[in-house]
Amino acid sequence: MNADDLLTLSPVLPVVVLHEVEQAVPVARALHSGGVRVMEVTLRTDAALEAIRRVAAEVPDVVVGAGTVITPDQARAAADAGAAFLVTPGTTDALLDATVDTGLPVLPGASTVSEAMRLAERGFDRLKFFPAEASGGVGALSAIGGPLPHLRFCPTGGITSDSAPRYLALPNVACVGGSWLTPKDALAAQDYARVETLAKEATALGTEAATATT
């Protein structure tokens, strides 16, 4: 799998924060039942690496990756845990080198034209735009597409089910990252049926965006 393959797995890349390892497999299965075949587990909790390990081992139909990768050690640990891809909120030379060394597809984060150009110089043309809403949202990404039409983005940060279609309608957006598919209260209540329903709604967003651009 490469970055292009990753960006086509779902119109919405679920950004999942797990505080309990036991939630990992039920969440992955609920997302899959809703038509979403990918999930990004953020490395913001102590449960994250083991959660990635369990999903990779027990739910092979879901492509699980690591998000919020901010250090070289995290990149290596995520790869060792079985992550199929890495996502960073921003980039440094050391972090980029470490992610490349893992051999995994990477979505490095950028929020400015200069950062995007620098990543393109390093050979990355599939990027994360973060924090999307705080960095200008749809208008900013549309403007970036003018001078940098060869780059494609997965915007993340503040995007909702209401705003997602506007991002997906942009020619330089392949998918969006969203945390709304796995809301904190649903996970706390082990309401995986709700996660499945939200996944089904997210899957439909791709069809809506395609219709809007034709």
Asked if residue 18 lies in contact with residue 47, where contact means CB atoms within 8 angstroms, the answer is yes
* Residues 25, 30, 33, 37, CA torsion sign: negative
Concerning whether 40 is annotated as a catalytic residue, the answer is yes
How far, in Å, are 25, 185, 196 from residue 192 at the CA level?
Answer: 11, 11, 6
- Set 121, 128, 196, 208: catalytic member: 128
Non-local CB neighbours of 43 within 8 Å, separated by 6+ positions: 49, 66, 67, 68, 69, 70, 74, 78
* 8-state DSSP, 36: -
Q: Measure the CA–CA gap between 206 and 210, rounded to whole angstroms.
A: 6
The CB density around residue 136, as the number of other CB atoms within 10 Å, is: 16
* 8-state DSSP, 70: -
Would you state the structure tokens that stand for residue 192, as one six-digit string?
């995986």
- Set 20, 22, 40, 184: catalytic member: 40
Concerning whether 128 is annotated as a catalytic residue, the answer is yes
Catalytic residue annotation = 40, 128
